Amino acid sequence: MRILHIIHTLEYGGAERMLLSTVRAQSRTEDVYVCSMYGNDLMKDKFKLICRDVKLLNFKHKFNPLIILKIYKLIKKYDVDIVHTHLFFSSVYGQIAAKISGVPALCSEHNISNWEKNNKLVKMGLNFYSRLARRILVVSEAIKNAAIENRIPVEKIIVLHNAIDLNLDPFINTGRKKQNHIFTFGSVGRLDSRKGFDILIKACSIVRKRYDCHCVIVGDGDERVRLTSMIQELNLQSTISLVGAQSDVWSFLVLMDCFVLPSRNEGFGIAIIEAMAAGIPVIGSRVGGISEIITDTDNGLLFDSENVDDLCKKMVWIIENKNAASEMSARALHLVREKFSIEVYNLKLLGIYNNYMRY
């Protein structure tokens, strides 16, 4: 089967990391091609190592109908059997190009934020490409419910939780080796407002008054300047490190004693299962798909979104209850192995291709 995946960029975001794992698994048995529409190709080389071809269109503006023509030509060039689009603009352009080409296509919805926006153009775009797609894959029940509320036919929606490649986790077999003695919190994600890193920064400013701790945040984005200013205003320069986007997140996970995902909204939260796989205790906000991964006090801790005091309590609990946190992490790792492995995910996805996409 020849599969073309279309996505916005190849930066180090959750959807992009999920696609990398998917392509790696599919390439063992299928011919897989990847198309990136815009700039930021941080993971380009990783994709080139595992698939037939990677095409970077490098369009500078999101609104450009020439993208449809470029994708149409790629579909014909690669003679693909299936087109699989990811994220909003990729699905708008990719589904049109697939329809013109006569090639079956489906789309993956990784984010819940678009479905919750009161933006008529966004809602029109979602409904438009949802009608073109044979099936809509959503990464959580939360996104499924949001899609149904937006009048997407329930029979077109399939919930398929994200997954990771446990065989590539360098800490599962070797064990994590902490590099320093200071308790370190950490997080991974784009620096935008919906990720809630300002909430984590405020919480750290409180927790550090009681305990010697550090926090490392991996990622980049529009909020970097504002977050940097906040760190300076709270005099946290020696406590919080913004290390930017990184192609190898595992080298930073090894530094963490606790992983925190403080999102205001979240479609799934693949960074949480990556942290779970690395044996790190996790704390997440009680929003979207996060609560479909974390069972509070069993395999992680949940806090009320945007509640800094509640987050502080959970962070302090992790520091003061290392043995209980370690037991929680062991249960989390078991969950990841049972439910979120890329092998199980890929078998389900290929089954969907075969069941719904063939003429």
Whose CA is closest to 217, among 249, 177, 247, 171? Answer: 249
Confidence of residue 175 (pLDDT cuts 50, 70, 90): very low
- Domain residue ranges in the chain: 2-165+341-357, 168-339
- What is the Cα 28 distance to its own chain's centre? 23
The residues pairing with 214 across neighbouring beta strands, listed in sequence order, are 184
CA angle, residues 187, 108, 293, in degrees to nearest 5? 40
Query: What does the alpha-carbon distance between residue 114 and residue 112 come to, in Å, rounded to a whole number?
Result: 6
Say if residue 71 is exposed, middle or buried (CB neighbours under 10 Å; 0-12, 13-18, 19+): buried
Q: Check for a shared fold between 2-165+341-357 and 168-339.
A: yes
Strand 282-285 and strand 258-261: pairing?
Answer: parallel
What tens digit of pLDDT does each residue of 53-111 get?
Answer: 999 999 999 899 999 999 999 999 999 999 999 999 999 999 999 999 999 999 999 88
Q: Please compute the mean of the pLDDT values over residues 228-254 and round it to a whole number.
A: 93
* The pLDDT of residue 359 is above 70: no
CB atoms within 10 A of CB 257: 20
Q: State the average pLDDT over residues 315-341.
A: 96
**Cα Rg for the chain, rounded, in angstroms?**
20
Confidence of residue 358 (pLDDT cuts 50, 70, 90): low
Task: List the 53-56 sheet strands across, edge first.
Answer: 53-56, 31-36, 2-7, 82-86, 105-109, 136-138, 157-159
Q: How confident is the model at residue 173 (pLDDT cuts 50, 70, 90)?
A: very low
| Beta sheet of 213-218, edge-to-edge order | 240-244, 213-218, 183-188, 258-261, 282-285, 301-303
* C-alpha distances in Å from residue 327, one per residue of 91, 183, 299, 324, 333: 41, 18, 8, 5, 10
Non-local CB neighbours of 160 within 8 Å, separated by 6+ positions: 137, 138, 139, 345, 348, 349, 352
List beta partners, residue 159: 138
**pLDDT reported for residue 169:** 52
CA distance 257 to 295: 19
> Beta partners for 108?
86, 137
Q: At 348, list the tokens.
A: 């389900």
Q: Model confidence over 112-145: pLDDT tens digits?
A: 776 666 778 888 888 899 899 999 999 999 999 9
Q: First and final CA of the chain: distance in angstroms?
A: 14
- Asked if residue 171 has pLDDT above 50, the reply is no
Please name which of 140, 142, 139, 107 lies closest in space to residue 126, comparing C-alpha atoms: 107
Do 189 and 197 meet the contact criterion of CB atoms below 8 Å apart?
yes
Q: How confident is the model at residue 250 (pLDDT cuts 50, 70, 90)?
A: confident
With 0.75 as the threshold, say if the pTM is over it.
yes
DSSP structural state of residue 359: -
How far is Cα 297 from Cα 174, in angstroms, rounded to an integer?
A: 27
Give the CATH number of domain 2-165+341-357: 3.40.50.2000
Fold exhibited by the domain 168-339: Rossmann fold (3.40.50)
Residue 116 has a pLDDT of 63
Task: Read off the pLDDT of residues 201-217 as tens digits, 9 standing for 90 and up.
Answer: 999 999 999 999 999 99
Q: What is the mean pLDDT of residues 44-51?
A: 95
Average pLDDT over residues 149-163: 92
Q: pLDDT by residue (tens digit) across 4-26?
A: 999 999 988 889 989 999 999 99
Q: What is the pLDDT of residue 184?
A: 97
DSSP-assigned beta bridge partners for residue 314: none
**3-class secondary structure for 123-178?**
HHHHHHHHHHCCCEEECCHHHHHHHHHCCCCHHHEEECCCCECHHHCHHHHHCCCC
